[in-house]
Homo-oligomer: A and B are copies of this chain.
Amino acid sequence: MKKYVIGVDVGGTNIKLGLVHSQGHIIARSYFSTIPFSSSKTELIAALAQEIKAIIISHHLKNRDIAGVGVGLPGLVDDHQGIVRFLPNIPGWRNVHLKAILEKKLNLPVFIDNDVKLITLAEWKFGAGRGVKNLICLTLGTGVGSGLILDNHLYCGSTNAAGELGHMPLNEQGPACNCGGFGCLETYVGNKRLFALASRMMNQRGMTTQKMFALANQGHKKALQYWHQAATHIGNGLVGIVNLLNPELIIIGGGVSHNEKFLFPRIREVIKQRAMDVQASIVKIKRAEFGDDAGIIGTQVLVNAKIL
């Protein structure tokens, strides 16, 4: 096995890069803003290739030391063909042959996939889910997503679109969701909704989950209620998947997962109360280990699985 993978995490405003060791450590990092390139994908991809070459050179490496480049993207990716289908929060990316373009520029194998899948691979191979056969990795943010490790491999579904736990409906008559559905988990615990709810509950503009966390830490009653309510929705959203997939572990990551003490006990309680006994008795809830690094670490697993 070659020693290094170069991991790329494409976000709405920044692209982060990391030189990842075969044991999953990030040895070096860099990042650049995507904003100067917002009108040209071609220039953005050229800048990304340049940054990758710079990492290789600055660490006195040659292409032969690099197993490959892995790129995580926040949206729908055709991993087999290496095509970015659609990125909901980055306009203009539709059917971009990113793998082929980068391979030509770099003369290295390039693999691309959805970022939540890479986070899941990182937590499973190196993080909170090491050695676990069946797990769900839930990511809470603007979007709510998940990756599924089932029978010791990443389950991708028929068109690489599996894992949309954020679009598990909680109520048949629930609020309309961007996805076209109704009452999806994301409409209750996506960041936008949590921010709006915080402002409404506190009767004050500009409230954030961070502020609600600080208030809860001070014992503020409404803030505690707020987190209880959010955790109840998350727990209710997990009951169905616990009953259906009978996992050993649910890993929770993303912004609000830092508020572990106000979320996790209630999530566990809801699952215990509402999921079936056999499934509820075996499933554990853990916080993700790698935070913002998970996407980059996951490229290590992706690349090494693909080049085998």
CB-CB nearest in chain B for A157: B246
Q: State the Cβ distance, A158 to closest chain B Cβ, in Å.
A: 5
Within 8 Å by CB of A276, from B158, B181, B275, B282, lies B181
| Number of A residues with CB within 8 Å of any CB on chain B | 51
Interface residues of A in 265-308 (CB under 8 A from B): 273-279, 282-283
- Contact B239 A158, beta carbon cutoff 8 Å: no
Within 8 Å by CB of A245, from B157, B171, B232, B236, lies B157
Give the residues in chain B near A155, CB-CB below 8 Å: 150-151, 245
- Contact B170 A172, beta carbon cutoff 8 Å: yes
Of A10-18, A161-169, A191-199, which stretch is located at the interface? A161-169
- Contact B278 A76, beta carbon cutoff 8 Å: yes
Say if the beta carbon of A139 comes within 8 Å of chain B: no
Say if the beta carbon of A87 comes within 8 Å of chain B: no
Most B Cβ at <10 Å: residue of A155, A169, A182: A169
Complex Cα spacing A244 to B283, Å: 19
- Contact B244 A274, beta carbon cutoff 8 Å: no
CB-CB nearest in chain B for A132: B158
Say if the beta carbon of A241 comes within 8 Å of chain B: yes
- Contact B167 A169, beta carbon cutoff 8 Å: no
Q: State the Cβ distance, A196 to closest chain B Cβ, in Å.
A: 19
Say if the beta carbon of A248 comes within 8 Å of chain B: yes
- Contact B134 A165, beta carbon cutoff 8 Å: no
Say if the beta carbon of A142 comes within 8 Å of chain B: no
- Contact B279 A180, beta carbon cutoff 8 Å: no
- Contact B282 A158, beta carbon cutoff 8 Å: yes
Complex Cα spacing A291 to B278, Å: 29
Give the residues in chain B near A243, CB-CB below 8 Å: 164-165, 167-168, 179, 181
Give the residues in chain B near A248, CB-CB below 8 Å: 158
Say if the beta carbon of A3 comes within 8 Å of chain B: no
Which residues on A are within 8 Å of B, measured CB to CB?
76, 133-134, 146, 148, 150-151, 153, 155-165, 167-173, 179-182, 232-233, 236, 239-241, 243-248, 273-279, 282-283
13 further A-B pairs in the complex, CB-CB below 8 A; given A146-B244, A158-B283, A161-B279: A151-B153, A156-B246, A158-B247, A158-B282, A162-B246, A163-B244, A165-B243, A167-B243, A170-B171, A171-B172, A179-B276, A181-B239, A181-B275
In the assembled complex, 10 residue pairs joining A and B whose CB atoms fall closer than 8 Å, in A order, are A146-B244, A157-B246, A158-B248, A161-B246, A161-B276, A162-B244, A169-B239, A171-B171, A181-B274, A244-B244
